[in-house]
Structure 1
Amino acid sequence: MKRRKAITIPKATAATRQLYLYQLLTAGAHLSKQNLQDKFEIDSRTAQRDFANVRNFIGEYLNDYDLKYDAKDHSYYLSSGGLSLSKAQCLVLIKVLLASRSLARKELKSLIKSLLALLTEQDRRDIKPIIQSELASYVELKNLKDKRLLEAIYTFSKLILQRETITIDYTTQRHKYVTRTIAPVALTFSDYYF
């Protein structure tokens, strides 16, 4: 079996290398100087300078994050100071969303994808098999099909915060059409509905 040669990016600018480095670190990668040297065909000092520049940027503009060095692994990684979402926390949130049946399938899948994107690649691989069968058997409520509930909840919450009145139209159980102007004070969730 022939081994594939790694793709290199020779003659890249310092800015390109540092953006590449930063992007991988924010995705949860652990990178060594050797990784950078091999990818960009640069020497050890240049790789060290690139890591130092990324560290300075993070220290100056992203106060809640820090570039750490793992001496055992000889690699750098981005530490979030407790701001990140653990895979256990992410799994619980996804399971609550699935069990609530409060969203249309399309919005639910998009939200789950966004939550998983906050995790490292390995954590995503760990969680996907756990939620796969629940997601496949998810039954959305009939009246939620093709509804855009997330945006409506956000808009409604802003109206509540701004103490706005709104006019609503609805049909009663006796099939009477009613229009009301209300001043909502809260948005709650109960029995599958907001």
Structure 2
Amino acid sequence: MPTGIALRDVREQLFAAAERVLLRAGPSGLTSRAVTDEAGCAKGVLHRHFSDFDDFLAELVRDRIAQLARDATELRDAAGTGTVDDNLADAVTKVFGPVAVAIVSLIIFRDELRTRLRRTRPIGVPLLSDATVMVSEYLTAERELGRLTPDADVDALAPTLIGAGHLLFADRTGTPPDAVAVRRMVATVLSGSQIR
């Protein structure tokens, strides 16, 4: 007799369930049983679609990276509009939403997950590295448009912004920083690199 509920888009429903568990219980509480219980389906459903739990988690991370790629396009398209500080503050806030912060913790927490992700992303922490590339591409576009100084070192500024952003948002149980704090961090990192 079947257990649980019929799942239309199994992958997306399992990912959504994993994100809810991750937000509620953290990396140590994220198990295949917790995910399938949250999704309201039998444990075998997950294993029919993924070779094992770490394969599932790797696909979850890749799905979030794909979402970040869409955000990167939006950020690049914003070059030359608004202010550089506001565009980056909005992007950093979006990058470090609660689910992304929890996923970064998960990547750091699970050795096997990191090993699997390293097969295609050998450098840095996945998601954080992708966010750094996103910011670097945006800063390059702004420099080319003359809104940053010609000698602005985007390869140093981008990881500094992502690292500082991660520190601001890293406490998944605390209150996230407000928009003023994020904008102040961005302005401080970019001080001396912007043409006003």
Which structure has the larger Rg?
A: 1
Superposition TM-score, scaled by structure 2 size: 0.30
Relative contact order, higher structure (CA 8 A, sep 6+):
2
Superposition TM-score, scaled by structure 1 size: 0.31
Q: Give the number of the structure whose residues are more often helix, by fraction.
A: 2
Q: Give the number of the structure whose residues are more often strand, by fraction.
A: 1
